[in-house]
């Protein structure tokens, strides 16, 4: 098939390259000329493991092209995939500006039957709106389909080539056939449904995963108070098939470009039809507070942070990505700065993106994990990169000014940290530093 992918961000770029890998002819479009030039030159504007070689290979094989000319790509295509951003408005609602602009451009370029899919995460009713916009500009036949995306940054190539399921929402049997042919090589689990349900599946899935995270984080907070170990609790819970073990890792809460935005959007979608989504509101509230557990622990361990040097390991919202959108590190570093600390930060790939979002004269941008630890009065681990897990903790202790390790992601084994001589503050786990209260049961 000939596919045009509009928007070469984390989703569009991975999808486009993977469609080419399946043997289709793909034209990836972005209005960002610098991105397109970099892609044409064999580079990749984001950090995503495995993506660059796949791009170069498919370009060399003549199946993958990049352009800023949307009309050219759409004119050639059988299937158009819209994967532009849908960021949050201040109200929490998804901003439809980019979707609507792309729809207008697609409509103006239509020259025959095509299936127009929206892969971006969009409120219920958006695909119908996109169809109306195109219909106003083009009076020939076309079909609309919702094609929500479930990939995770950091494992995006694997997720796209081996998805748990593909969801296709369309009211047209012609579009349904074309899109199942396109995706059948990837999985036999194709959920064929109506457009509105497909749009809702995406929001409901992300809201559910966010709920699991906030749930285990609250369990962790209680564990800290009653002297239980959230890792043991999550293991015991997760072995129950009805619960499952994924997304039961306690920490400093979720971030990134999807969960915060999509939970807020779903609360708004519900509010627009006068439904108060109380559960999801609490999930969001719990998540907002969870990151400051790091600051509380720091305060308990160190007292006032004014004039102290705090090392920070990890800025990306999760490992294996350079994405810092809504990363807990943004607010934590800002709070540390506000409390008068000097902050030595290090992340293997997300430093430049972080610095674009937040910079300050009291931030020291370090070239290694050890440099960030050097002379610091405490160290906060915020992203669970493997290089932090594998580090020589004895050497870290020797480098630090005072040996306090706040582990926001429960990366270490308590005994290993203790053997290195560090004072350890994990999340939801008893440690030799924690005050284990005597429980008085009535
Ligand atoms: P992104 O911001 O990384 O990329 C969007 C791209 O679209 C940008 O490069 C921008 O220049 C381009 N663009 C905008 N308007 C355009 C136009 N008219 N023509 C051509 N290019 C245009 O966004 P993303 O992270 O890839 O997310 C895209 C959508 O996918 C969002 O709705 C998001 O919620 C959803 N999603 C994201 C993820 C993820 O992990 N990032 C996962 C699943 C779903």
Ligand 1 atom with the shortest distance to the CA of 12: 26
User: Ligand 1: which of 5, 9, 160 to mutate, most ligand atoms within 8 Å of CB?
Assistant: 9
| Cβ neighbourhood burial of 435 (10 Å; 0-12, 13-18, 19+) | exposed
- Cβ neighbors of 78 (< 8 A, separation 6 or more) are 1, 2, 3, 114, 115, 178
| Positions marked catalytic | 258
Of all protein residues, the one whose alpha carbon is nearest to atom 18 of ligand 1 is 102
Q: What are phi and psi of 405, to 5 degrees?
A: -120, 115
- Cβ neighbors of 390 (< 8 A, separation 6 or more) are none
Predicted pLDDT of residue 289: 97
Q: How far is the CA of 24 from the centre of ligand 1 (A)?
A: 21
Q: How far is the CA of 419 from the centre of ligand 1 (A)?
A: 46
Q: How far is the CA of 10 from the centre of ligand 1 (A)?
A: 6
Q: How far is the CA of 272 from the centre of ligand 1 (A)?
A: 24
**Average pLDDT, integer, range 88-117:** 96
**CB-based pocket (< 6 A), ligand 1:** 6-12, 29-32, 35, 70, 83-86, 98, 101-102, 105, 120-121, 149, 151, 153, 257-258
- Cβ contacts of 130-139, under 8 Å, gap ≥ 24: 130/82, 130/99, 130/100, 130/103, 133/100, 133/103, 133/104, 133/107, 134/103, 134/106, 134/107, 134/110, 135/107, 136/107, 137/104, 137/107, 137/108, 137/110, 138/107, 138/108, 138/110
Q: How far is the CA of 96 from the centre of ligand 1 (A)?
A: 12
Of all protein residues, the one whose alpha carbon is nearest to atom 32 of ligand 1 is 120
| Cβ neighbourhood burial of 338 (10 Å; 0-12, 13-18, 19+) | exposed
User: Ligand 1: which of 5, 12, 47, 72 to mutate, most ligand atoms within 8 Å of CB?
Assistant: 12
Closest CA to 321 of 45, 81, 58: 45
Predicted pLDDT of residue 438: 60
- Cβ contacts of 89-98, under 8 Å, gap ≥ 24: 91/268, 92/264, 92/265, 92/267, 92/268, 93/123, 93/264, 93/265, 93/268, 94/121, 94/122, 94/123, 94/261, 94/265, 94/268, 96/122, 96/123, 96/126, 96/129, 98/7
| Cβ neighbourhood burial of 403 (10 Å; 0-12, 13-18, 19+) | buried
User: Is the pLDDT reported for residue 397 higher than 60?
Assistant: yes
Paired residues of 191 in beta bridges: 167
User: Is the pLDDT reported for residue 191 higher than 60?
Assistant: yes
Predicted pLDDT of residue 309: 98
Q: What is the pLDDT of residues 340-369, one digit of tens each?
A: 999 999 999 999 999 999 999 999 999 999
Confidence of residue 101 (pLDDT cuts 50, 70, 90): very high
**Average pLDDT, integer, range 106-132:** 97
Predicted pLDDT of residue 92: 86
User: Is the pLDDT reported for residue 8 higher than 70?
Assistant: yes
Ligand 1 atom with the shortest distance to the CA of 121: 32
Of all protein residues, the one whose alpha carbon is nearest to atom 1 of ligand 1 is 9
Q: What is the pLDDT of residues 199-211, one digit of tens each?
A: 999 999 999 999 9
Average pLDDT of the chain?
A: 96
User: Is the pLDDT reported for residue 440 higher than 80?
Assistant: no
Confidence of residue 442 (pLDDT cuts 50, 70, 90): low
Percent of the chain with pLDDT over 70: 97
User: Is the pLDDT reported for residue 431 higher than 80?
Assistant: no
SS3 94: strand
Predicted pLDDT of residue 127: 97
Q: What is the DSSP string of 401-437?
A: SS-EEEETT--S-HHHHHHTT-EEE-SSS--TTS--P
Is 131:144 a contact under the CB 8 Å cutoff? yes
Ligand 1 atom with the shortest distance to the CA of 10: 26
Domains of the chain (ranges; CATH) run: 2-193 (3.40.50.720), 202-289 (1.10.1040.10), 291-425 (3.40.50.720)
Q: How far is the CA of 85 from the centre of ligand 1 (A)?
A: 3
User: Ligand 1: which of 13, 84, 356 to mutate, most ligand atoms within 8 Å of CB?
Assistant: 84
Q: What is the pTM of this model?
A: 0.94
């Amino acid at each position: 098939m000939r596919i045009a992918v509009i928007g070469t961000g984390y989703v569009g770029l991975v999808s486009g390259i993977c469609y080419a890998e399946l043997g289709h002819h793909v034209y990836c479009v972005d209005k960002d000329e610098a991105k397109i030039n970099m892609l044409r030159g064999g580079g990749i504007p984001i950090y995503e493991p495995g993506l660059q070689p796949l791009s170069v290979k498919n370009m060399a094989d003549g199946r993958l092209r990049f352009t800023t000319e949307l009309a050219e790509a759409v004119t050639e295509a059988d299937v158009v995939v819209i994967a532009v951003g849908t960021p949050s408005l201040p109200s929490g609602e998804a901003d439809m500006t980019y979707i609507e602009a792309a729809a207008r451009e697609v409509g103006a370029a239509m020259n025959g039957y095509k299936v127009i899919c929206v892969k971006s995460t969009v409120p219920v009713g958006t695909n119908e709106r996109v169809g109306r916009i195109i219909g106003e500009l083009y009076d020939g036949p076309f079909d609309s389909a919702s094609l929500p995306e479930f990939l995770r940054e950091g494992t995006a190539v694997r997720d796209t080539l081996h998805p748990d399921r593909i969801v296709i929402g369309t009211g047209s049997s012609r579009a349904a056939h074309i899109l199942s042919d396109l995706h059948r090589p990837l999985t036999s689990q194709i959920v064929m449904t109506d457009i509105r349900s497909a749009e809702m599946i995406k929001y409901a899935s992300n809201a559910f995963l966010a709920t699991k995270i906030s749930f285990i984080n609250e369990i962790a907070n209680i564990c800290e108070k009653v002297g239980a170990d959230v890792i043991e609790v999550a293991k015991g819970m997760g072995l129950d098939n009805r619960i499952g073990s994924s997304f039961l890792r306690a920490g400093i809460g979720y971030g990134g470009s999807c969960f915060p935005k999509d939970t807020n959007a779903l609360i708004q979608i519900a509010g627009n039809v006068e439904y108060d989504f109380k559960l999801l509101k609490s999930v969001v509230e719990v998540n907002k507070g969870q990151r400051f557990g790091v600051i509380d622990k720091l305060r308990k361990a160190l007292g006032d942070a004014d004039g102290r040097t705090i090392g920070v390991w990890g800025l990306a919202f999760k490992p294996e990505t350079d994405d810092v959108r809504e990363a807990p590190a943004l607010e934590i570093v800002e709070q540390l700065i506000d409390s008068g600390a000097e902050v030595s930060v290090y992340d293997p790939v997300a430093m430049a993106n972080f610095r674009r979002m937040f910079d300050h004269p009291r931030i020291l941008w370090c070239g290694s994990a050890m440099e960030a630890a050097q002379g610091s009065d405490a160290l906060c681990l915020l992203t669970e990169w493997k290089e932090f897990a594998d580090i020589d903790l004895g050497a870290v202790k020797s480098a630090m000014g005072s040996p306090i390790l706040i582990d926001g992601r429960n990366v270490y084994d308590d005994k290993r940290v203790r053997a290195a001589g560090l004072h350890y503050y994990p999340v939801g786990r008893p440690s030799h530093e924690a005050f284990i209260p005597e429980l008085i049961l009535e």
